[in-house]
Amino acid sequence: MGLLVVGLVGLAIAVFQTQPTSRVVLLPDADGKTGEVIVRAEGQEQRVATAYGSASVNRLGTLQANATDAAQVAQLYGSMLAARPAAPVSFTVFFEFGSAVDIAPVFQPTLDKLRAAMADFPAAEVTVIGHTDRVGTLESNDQLSLQRAQTVRDLILQAGIRPLVLEIAGRGEREPLVPTADEVPEAQNRRVEINLR
């Protein structure tokens, strides 16, 4: 009987020591794509590059690859997954050439989408970033991009949309959506990005 007890205690210790203390599970994006992650421990390395692939380190420092699936991840980590914040959402609106007030007529649907998306963000932060094309000087484009961001911010507030944080910035011609040579007008670059997180 004593041997059985010792054997069970030894088994319990072995099970306890092999239980993972750290685990990394690679989740797919909404479109099913994954990146990859390298997990390192005690001079060991494990690459995880498949959806729901995982690597764990046990109490002895041993690194091991594991295969999981969506159902198992939901069962083990459902409460953590439910607590994740919503993924950031972005909207883009376009301006007429040289204008900080002539916004494309499709802005009202963008406001409606922004208002609807804010329901997923209890402590919503909105960043409004203005851009220009490459026509004009750097200084004038910096000013124009900031004015565009201010126009969009004002329209958001006038629509009764009140995020916890609302910041604006102007990037001028520095971050074009469509790269062009200097002094080339490009409608896609005359934009304001609205980022909600």
pLDDT per position as a tens digit, 147-193: 999 999 999 999 999 999 999 999 999 999 999 999 999 999 999 99
- Please state the separation of Cα 31 from the chain's center in Å: 14
Side chain identity, residue 114: L
Residues of the chain with pLDDT under 70: 1-20, 104
Reference 56, options 19, 103, 13, 98; nearest CA is 19
Q: What is the pLDDT of residue 175?
A: 97
Q: pTM score > 0.95 for this model?
A: no
Q: What is the pLDDT of residue 20?
A: 65
User: From residue 176, how far is each of 56, 61, 97, 108, 134 by CA, in Å?
Assistant: 42, 48, 15, 24, 8
Residue 45 and residue 41: Cα distance in Å, rounded?
7
Q: Which residue has the tokens 């409004």?
A: 128
Q: What is the pLDDT of residue 4?
A: 36
Which domains occur in the chain, in start order?
A: 21-83 (no CATH), 89-196 (3.30.1330.60)
Of how many residues is the chain composed? 197
